[in-house]
Structure 1
Amino acid sequence: MSAPDTQHIVCPHCHTTNRVSAAQRAQAPDCGKCHQPLFTGQPVALDEAGFAKHVSRSEVPVLVDFWAPWCGPCRMMAPQFEAAARELEPHFRLVKVNTEEAQQLAAQLQIRSIPTLALFKGGREVARQPGAMGAADIVRWACSQA
């Protein structure tokens, strides 16, 4: 278990779990294994295994955009989600899960429409919002749920 002033952060590059203090988080920390930035200000594309690791091991809330490449509203929301990532990190990890590639995960989580945002804390889903949203609405919604 980490101390109260530290959090476990999963690297978006190599998926190693890092223990990071609040002071380090404010100074753009790097992964202890691959030495890449732990926060990039960009959503992280995850497959099913990466999703499981980030949701179960990260102690920052994980905001997931469930999408598909053929979905017009998903493509419209993508730059808005990217803008929200720049604003919400390092307090949230923003990730994208392509439901065409992660069909089992989408079925398991009962993703019925896309785009759908889901917020996970402590390994569990705590909120869900279907439909495309602008960056300010994504930020407002995520902060109100955390």
Structure 2
Amino acid sequence: MTNIVCSSCGATNRIAEGQDMARGKCGKCGAALFSGHAADVPAAILEKQIARSSIPVLVDVWAPWCGPCRVMGPQFEAAAQAAEPDLRLVKLNSDENQDLAGRLGIRGIPTMILFKDGKEAGRVSGAMSSADILAWARRTAS
């Protein structure tokens, strides 16, 4: 079984081996588990994603006033479209989630953190292209 956390409601969904994860829907809220979109999640759902997901979770910590963050936003979206369902991409607004951003040790934005098996596997700061995001995430997750 593969555990996939819903980005909409935070429920943990189990997908049996051999089933198409890309077509999965949340058993609690009915939302698609993978939409090709990097969901902007609150702290509580991000913490569930990190703790309960069987697949690696790539978090983009950003803020709406940050120029490099706005430049990287479409690139992160493109990476989400290409990477799902093997990799979960989510966004965390550091202005709206200051406590979690502080606990994560965010010093500058944009910062991407890759979590695997509930632990930080790597982090990188600065805007990147979608190809560079995917290459870094796949290299770091392996």
TM-score (norm 1): 0.92
- 1:21-100 aligned at under 5 Å gives the runs 21-26=16-21, 28-100=23-95
Residue ranges of structure 2 left out of the alignment (5+ in a row) = none
Q: Secondary structure at the match of 2:76?
A: helix
Aligned length: 141
Q: Secondary structure at the match of 2:54?
A: coil
Could you say what the CA RMSD is over the residues aligned between the two structures, in angstroms?
Answer: 1.1
Indicate whether 1:10 and 2:5 are aligned: yes
CA–CA distance in 1 between the matches of 2:77 and 2:14? 25
* Runs of 4+ more than 3 Å apart: none
Q: Which amino acid aligns with 1:57?
A: R
Indicate whether 1:130 and 2:125 are aligned: yes
CA–CA distance in 2 between the matches of 1:69 and 1:101? 10
> Which deviations, in whole Å up to 9, do the C-alpha atoms of 1:63-110 show, x marking residues without a partner?
000000000000000000000000000001100001111111111111
Residue of structure 1 in register with 2:138 after alignment: 143
**Contact 2:5–2:53 (8 Å) recurs in 1:** yes
Q: Which moved more, 1:9-18 or 1:77-86?
A: 9-18
Identity of aligned residues (%): 52
Deviation at 1:27? 5.1
Q: For the structure 1 residues 47 and 127, does the alpha-carbon distance in structure 2 shift closer, same or farther, using more than 3 Å as the test?
A: same
Q: For the structure 1 residues 23 and 101, does the alpha-carbon distance in structure 2 shift closer, same or farther, using more than 3 Å as the test?
A: same
Deviation at 1:123? 1.2
